Amino acid sequence: MTVTTTFRRDFLYGFATASAQIEGGGAESEKESGRGDSIWDAFCEQPDKIRDGSHVKKTCNHLAMYKEDVAMMKSLGANAYRFSISWPRIIPLGGKGDPINQKGVDFYNNLINECLKNGLVPFVTLYHWDLPLELFKRYGGWLNKDKIVQDFTNYARTCFELFGDRVKHWLTFNEPWCTSVLGHGIGEFAPGHVSNTEPWIVGHNILISHASAAKLYINDFKPTQGGKIGITLNGDWTEPYDESPENIEAAQRKMDFALGWFADPIYLGKYPQSMIDILGDRLPKFTKEELALLKDCSEFYGCNTYTTNTIKAEKSDDEFAGYTTMGFDKPDGSMIGPPSQLGWLRDVPWGLRKLLNYLHQRYKMPIYMTENGWSIKGESLLSVEDAVRYYQGYTQALKDAVEKDGVDVRSYFGFMDNFEWASGLIPRFGSVYVDYDTFERTPKDSAKVLMEFFQDNISRK
């Protein structure tokens, strides 16, 4: 096994955002921009859905301030910018026969060109949860396989044609688990459905939509444009509560339901057996044509990860966790890591190293880390040393996975403060502070530490 001593020369690092989280500057400017409503616009208008009552139409005003944002990223030393294209900003009504919004096209052309002018590689996500509202109204969005696959593939083709001469790193979907479970299972995200059947249908239809769009790119665009395409999945490390066979098996089952649900069909050609056993007929079956489409439909593994859980076999009522019990406690009564501002997030850097090794060994694909971040509890009261500890721990774990374990990792992206979905503007995940009244940006110490780490550890050979 060849083990590197530094990150590869073409390693990408910088900041990650999503269109719905940062673009909006207010209802009037969004209307003027020609963007159609997404399911998140409708969700924000329902009482008590967004914790602080904020709205996707007014977030960080990236639409007007993209030049300043790109310049800031460059000044901090980033070499890449991961952002998403808003489907309803390009095709306001969403469908394959619907008109294109030239103002939206102009914005993304300008953003991509600004990135290239400043030496930032554009790393582009096609879908980061903002489904055109009209498609949801017409046929239920991700619940209608035949129509959504056609419309998403058409949207993807439009983006490849418009931007593929300059964009060489594509992601089809960001975290389909969240769309499926949070949007259609427990109802915390748009469109807010609660169901024990919809999530599996939605997940299946997203898999086919991904494969359709990715194969379109690989077959029709890659030969001339020369880029690469994949999907990015969320999945945190699952640590067995102890070494008992029951808890070891439970930890794998939780991993199957969180990560294997999407990764196994794409890279291994089938759903995890534990999902088949538990869900039965509720889990859709792949046709021969779909299996052929899924084969070789992702050229890398996109990894979003934040924390680690301890897993017990003790049965819970959480089907989405494979009926396991998730926690942060250890047998000696201690916690697995320090708490954050959010209940689900703890600082466990060694879990990242274990996760990267798991992905490397199971799926045997290059890994692009596309999101990682931390919402600090009492951030303003901490010393600089304490405030940057999360990133120091996680970047060292990343380095150890590459240097000591030989894991092929090719990127790392952090955050700037933004609209944190159902939590609104309250949590501050970013390494860049945003004043939501004035839209002023202020890089935090963590941004500098993060960028300097990668500058110091990338091979110059």
The active-site residue out of 30, 114, 299, 371 is 371
The active-site residue out of 175, 198, 239, 299 is 175
Phi, psi for 301 (deg, rounded to 5): -110, 120
Q: Is 69 exposed, middle or buried (0-12, 13-18, 19+ CB in 10 A)?
A: buried
Whole-number Å distance between alpha carbons of 38 and 350: 38
| Contact criterion met (CB below 8 Å) for 328 and 376 | no
Type of residue at 86: S
| Contact criterion met (CB below 8 Å) for 315 and 352 | no
269 Cβ neighbours under 8 A, 6+ residues apart: 291, 294, 295
CA distances from 428 to 54, 297, 348, 423 (A): 14, 35, 19, 10
User: Is 239 among the catalytic positions?
Assistant: no
**Pairing, β 308-312 against β 325-327:** antiparallel
Strand partners, 371: 304
C-alpha closest to that of 446 among 381, 372, 385, 378: 385
Q: How many CB atoms lie within 10 A of CB 428?
A: 22
User: Is 371 among the catalytic positions?
Assistant: yes
H helix or E strand, kind and range, residue 239: strand 237-240
Q: Is 173 exposed, middle or buried (0-12, 13-18, 19+ CB in 10 A)?
A: buried
Whole-number Å distance between alpha carbons of 141 and 408: 36
C-alpha closest to that of 354 among 331, 338, 336, 334: 336
- What are the residue numbers of the active site? 175, 371
